[in-house]
Each structure stands twice: as structure tokens, then as C-alpha cells.
Structure 1
């Protein structure tokens, strides 16, 4: 649980101490922003560090792992690399391993992951249909 005991000391501080604490806090926040913007410039990526939200990349990456991204246009994508996709209108990045390189551009890459994350009912419907298929299918 979040403890706000440090706020009890605020009325006892004089103006100089309070001003020092506010300036200290602003320096910490501005330092973090400068580091983030510096990483953006160095890596060429608008999100240089992302958190993996699902376990779909296991065993290489686990849910909650931090990924350090670069965006070097001169390096072509190779099979076996990890690619991060941004779909217009979506805030969440999609992380996939490159299995095959196609010459034709496909606009629905990752749509299954998006649908299952955004619409939990769709996920359960797919699982129900797969379970029904397994039970009905004879071989």
C-alpha cells in the first residue's frame, strides 16, 4: 500500500527547505526526460524501451521483459530477428519474431493478437470453437 507519511513533514519545513525539495523533484523528472529523449535520438526510435506484454515470445523473452529497440533503416530485416510493429490507431506495439520474409506487404499482421487483447469475448469464442473442433474432429 502507498504510504504518504512524507507529507506529514511538509508543514514543518521552512520555505527554503520546501523550495529545495521542489527543485530536487523537478531535477529528477527533467533528468529522466532528458535521458529518454537522448535514447530516442541515439536509437532512432520513438519508443527506445518497451515492456513485453504477453508470453508469446517465450522461451526467448518472457512477459514483463524490457526490450531495448533501435531503428536503423540501413540494416535489412533478417529471418530470426525480433521485429516490433506499430499499427496506426493503436498505442500498443506488437513484438514478433521474423520467420519468413514476404515480398508482398500484408496489412493485417498481428491482427489476431490485437483482437484477442482488445476483445476478451473474442478470445473465449475462438477457444470455444477450437475446443469444439477438437471434440468433433475424428481421426
Structure 2
């Protein structure tokens, strides 16, 4: 079966091959447009994230896919937020456990903690940092799909799997006759 697909690929004219490549580019650009549309709709730079650790169990497990929104309302104790620490790439999903509002500046100081952790997140923040701020928050959790994000975790843990998957999808698009 695989040899048949490869022989079909070899028999393609330059125009047919260009059309297949264009189809592949259209699929990728459509996915990017959907992502950007979700980001605009949810007012969040990252509308979907994957839980990477067990720190929020039993609320969320490793591999759960979280849907985020970033409303203009203030953050409340009990909200589950996704935030980024300046200078680090990986966002963190934890619950807000304490707030402090500074009246003079109107700034909100936020303390978070993973449900499955023994202590608050001050050890995760940058040295000397005791609170995070609203501008550090990527979004509030609005919903989730259990275990759907395991594919992302597997691709991060095994980079060769990512390239095999991308190559397989690219080959499938090229040899697809429709």
C-alpha cells in the first residue's frame, strides 16, 4: 500500500504536486487562523494550554487540555489561573489562594498554590518575588477536556515522534487524491 502511494507521488505532474503542497499550506494557515481567532475571542494570548504536571490534582491531571479566557473582571480567591513568571517559558496552572489590593496604585497582588502542593508558589516565583500580578496571568480556566493534551506531552518528551507525525501528515496530504 505504501509503495502504491509513493508511485502515485512520482507520477504526479508539477502542477498536481504544487496543488497538494498548497493544500497542506492551507491546512496549516487555517489552523493558525483558528488559534488567532480563539485568542481574540477569549482575550487571552494562549486560549488553550495543556497541564504538564500533577500539581493541580484532583482538579486537573497531567495531559488535560484547558480552555482559557481573560475577562476584564478582577481575579478572585479560588479562581484557577494560568500565569507566566517573567524570564520563563512554561506557564503554570494554579489556584489563587490570597489577594492583596493596594489602594494607592490600584495594583492587585496575587498568591497562588497548586491543589496538590503542600506550600504556596513563592518558591516558584523569581527570587525575592512574593506575589504575581494580573499582567502575569495568561487566563482563567473556563473549561477542560481530560487527557486530550497527552499527545502534546508525548511530542515534547519524544521530539522524534513530533517529526514523524509532521512528516506522516505531510506525506498523507501529498498523496491524498482528493
TM over 0.5: yes
Q: State the shift of 1:45 in Å.
A: 0.9
Select the structure with the greater relative contact order (CA < 8 A; seq sep ≥ 6). 2
Does the 8 A contact of 1:40 with 1:48 survive in 2?
Answer: yes
Does the 8 A contact of 2:98 with 2:110 survive in 1?
Answer: no
Structure 1: 5+ residue stretches without partners: 116-139
Does the 8 A contact of 1:43 with 1:70 survive in 2?
Answer: yes
Q: State the shift of 1:111 in Å.
A: 5.3
Q: 1:82 maps to which residue?
A: 80
The Cα RMSD (Å) is 2.8
Q: State the shift of 1:46 in Å.
A: 0.8
Structure 2: 5+ residue stretches without partners: 103-108, 112-119, 127-178
Judging by fraction of residues, say which structure has more helix.
1
Q: 2:66 maps to which residue?
A: 67
Does the 8 A contact of 1:94 with 1:110 survive in 2?
Answer: no
Quickly say closer, same or farther: Cα 1:7–1:97, change in 2 above 3 A.
farther
Q: State the shift of 1:102 in Å.
A: 2.9
Does the 8 A contact of 2:99 with 2:110 survive in 1?
Answer: no
Q: Distance in 1 between matches of 2:84 and 2:7?
A: 45
Judging by fraction of residues, say which structure has more strand.
2
Q: 1:112 maps to which residue?
A: 123
Deviation per CA, 1:4-46, whole angstroms, max 9, x where unpaired? Answer: 9765643221122211211110110110010011111111111
Q: Distance in 1 between matches of 2:29 and 2:7?
A: 26
SS in 2 for 1:64: coil
Q: Which has the larger radius of gyration?
A: 1
Q: 2:43 maps to which residue?
A: 44
Q: 2:98 maps to which residue?
A: 100
Quickly say closer, same or farther: Cα 1:62–1:114, change in 2 above 3 A.
farther
Q: Distance in 2 between matches of 1:106 and 1:31?
A: 37
Q: Distance in 1 between matches of 2:91 and 2:39?
A: 16
